[in-house]
Amino acid sequence: MSDPESWGMPTATLAVTIPESVWIAELSTRFPEATWRVLAALPDGETGVGLVEITAENIATVLSQLDDTGGVRIFEVLHRGENRALVQFETDEPLVLLSMRNSRAPFEPPVTVRDGVATLNITASRDRLSSLGEQLRTFGLEFDVRSIHTSADDDSVVSEEQRRLIETALERGYYDTPRECTLTELADHLGIAKSTASERLHRAEGAIIRAFADDTEF
């Protein structure tokens, strides 16, 4: 098999459920229509400082509740618009941030929080991604892996021609069950011989399967 390091490190998208007792989970659950985008964050001992953009129709109410919420030491509104505010904060409960620090996984803004769930993207080695998972569990944070892929140049897995072929096959239903498009119909649509379509699909599918196998523990 080809070396996965030649494609770059994996990028994982995680959905982390924040405990209800944590201030940002409490407020984002109380205002589920609001979006909290953590644009920057930095651990400071056992506390954390950060910059968050809050978008909500009732922004004044959200900010007033933030002022009365435990877990936030200091916050300052740097900018406020009609439905949006930019807030600098310091908190005693930076659980996700401490998990990243302890696992040495990089913080990749923005981290989006809605209704008690933080969605974050992490690009790191498999060892550090595994360590991050352990740290999240240590802090009592449940999480789901939404997706994982290698942050590589597209041509390192499939060529642009192969990518277009796969996309066309998907669009026309070649991979549906039952199939909506035969190999002959796909080849006719592309204006190539059936044998050519078959060979190109086989090569593309093989490359994708090898990449998946190298990036997945069975």
Mean pLDDT is lowest, of 12-16, 161-165, 195-199, for 161-165
Residue-level pLDDT at 155: 44
Pick the last residue of a domain from 150, 184, 207: 150
Residue-level pLDDT at 212: 60
What stretches of 104-193 show up as alpha helix (H) in DSSP?
Answer: 126-138, 160-171, 183-190
Q: Which two tokens stand for residue 172?
A: 């026309």
Residue-level pLDDT at 2: 38
Pick the last residue of a domain from 150, 166, 199: 150
Number of domain units in the chain? 2
189-207 confidence digits (pLDDT tens) = 999 999 998 888 888 887 7
Cα 66 to chain center, whole Å?
26
In this structure, the answer to whether residues 116 and 44 fall within a common structural domain is yes
Range of the domain at 163: 154-215
Residue-level pLDDT at 218: 38
| pLDDT band at residue 70 using 50, 70 and 90 as cut-offs | confident
In this structure, the answer to whether residues 142 and 182 fall within a common structural domain is no
In this structure, the answer to whether residues 116 and 207 fall within a common structural domain is no
Q: What is the mean pLDDT of residues 183-191?
A: 92
In this structure, the answer to whether residues 108 and 204 fall within a common structural domain is no
